[in-house]
Amino acid sequence: MSEQKYNVAVVGATGAVGEQILSLLEKRDFPVAELKLLSSARSAGKVLTFKGQDVVVEEATPDSFKGVDIALFSAGGDVSKELAPHAVSHGAVCIDNTNAFRMDPDKVLVVPEVNPEKIQEHNGIIANPNCSTIQMVAALKPLHDAFGIARIIVSTYQAVSGAGHKAIEEMLRQSKEILNGNADVQPDILPVGSLPVKHQIAFNAIPQIDKFTDNGYTLEEMKMVRETKKIMGDESIEVSATCVRIPVINGHSESVYVEFKNDYELEEVKSLLEKAPGITLVDDPASQAYPLASDAVGKPDVFVGRLRRDLTHSRGLNMWIVSDNLLKGAAWNAVQIAEIIVSNRNGRA
């Protein structure tokens, strides 16, 4: 039996996440029949390469999805809201990296290490969670199954690549200017491209990612709250988050406090994480080993360490969770979902 191949569209192909999706489809030897690279009108005409072949980027329109089997979206929420329904009407399954459909009760929100069974329940659109949520729930799932999570308090240390190419360029430009003795750099992208106030990101820490919501939390913080409940399938898990952008190019780090419903043993936590899929335990204080963003970049796993009993609560645990936000936090999670879709179809055939 020859392997079935699929027509694949990548929407936002020239963006930071789109590039990684393309690279992963190639590296994983994803069964691509025809590949369509789509973008805004501004980036259309650019030429990218896939498996040694030049592919011209086309402007994404409602008609772009004729004959497409799987469409991977990462071109912003507005693009997904407009075009994903057209892709679905053409028969494509959409895997959407944006915030457009994540909390839609009719759409599934999937991290393959946590709730892969939801993929089969899709209505044409499968939402990929927010980067900061993915790495946290992937690490916490085996612990939730074992001890039951009552609540989570998380502080993030997020890389600028999560805000796209322009944010990376801004951070590098500001860093160069400061290193050259210009203390008064001009911020023009971060913290939020669409908001008026800009702050320096080089050699700084900005406690705002995405817009503020009415309760004083940012949208990024509320994504961690809502998405965690939905992915874990447990509305009883309480989450409070503080999301902070720091001058790191790639790789989100998170300081996570978890309070379990039941008693736990630290050795059991380590043993569960060692066996968990997609998790690498890096936790040896004696050799100063713990996860680092610089070590996580380019790797698909979620790295966990600094595991220690909380000093303020007997069922509390503190941990440090790091992952490449463009890979497991975005492109790799999406391609994993695509691989499971393909595997399910082949199984059915």
CA 80 to the chain's CA centroid:
16
- Which one, 46 or 199, has the nearer CB to a copy of itself? 199
- Which one, 46 or 309, has the nearer CB to a copy of itself? 309
* 3-state SS string for 74-119: CCCHHHHHHHHHHHHHCCCEEEECCCCCCCCCCCEECCCCCCHHHH
Rounded least distance, CB 242 to a copy of itself, Å: 4
Query: What share of residues in the chain are helix, strand, coil (percent, to 5)?
Result: 35, 25, 40
Question: Tokens representing 300?
Answer: 């698909």
Is 90 marked active-site? Answer: no
Rounded least distance, CB 337 to a copy of itself, Å: 28
* Span interacting with a copy of itself, options 55-63, 97-105, 139-147, 288-296, rule CB under 8 A: 288-296
Q: Figure out which of the listed residues 25, 60, 244, 304 binds a copy of itself, where binding follows CB under 8 A.
A: 244
Question: Tokens representing 339?
Answer: 């691989």
40 lies in the binding site for a copy of itself (CB under 8 A): no
Residue 125 one-letter amino acid: I
Q: Figure out which of the listed residues 176, 182, 275, 277 binds a copy of itself, where binding follows CB under 8 A.
A: 176
Please work out, in degrees rounded to the nearest 5, the angle formed at the alpha carbon of residue 92 by the alpha carbons of 88 and 97.
Answer: 80
* Span interacting with a copy of itself, options 11-19, 114-122, 269-277, 285-293, rule CB under 8 A: 285-293
Question: Tokens representing 315?
Answer: 């069922």
Which residue of the set 131, 144, 165, 199 is catalytic? 131
Q: Figure out which of the listed residues 17, 225, 231, 273 binds a copy of itself, where binding follows CB under 8 A.
A: 225
In which residue are the tokens 């680092």 written?
292
Rounded least distance, CB 141 to a copy of itself, Å: 19
299 lies in the binding site for a copy of itself (CB under 8 A): no
Residue 14 one-letter amino acid: T
- Which one, 164 or 305, has the nearer CB to a copy of itself? 305
Is 252 marked active-site? Answer: yes
Q: Is 312 within any annotated ligand binding site?
A: no
- Which one, 2 or 312, has the nearer CB to a copy of itself? 312
252-260 and 316-323 beta bridge pairing: antiparallel
Residues in binding contact with a copy of itself, number by CB under 8 A = 62
Q: Figure out which of the listed residues 257, 270, 271, 315 binds a copy of itself, where binding follows CB under 8 A.
A: 257
Q: Is 43 within any annotated ligand binding site?
A: yes
| Cβ–Cβ under 8 Å, residues 142 and 148 | no
246 lies in the binding site for a copy of itself (CB under 8 A): yes
Phi, psi of 206 (to 5 degrees): -110, 115
47-50 and 53-56 beta bridge pairing: antiparallel
List active site positions: 131, 252
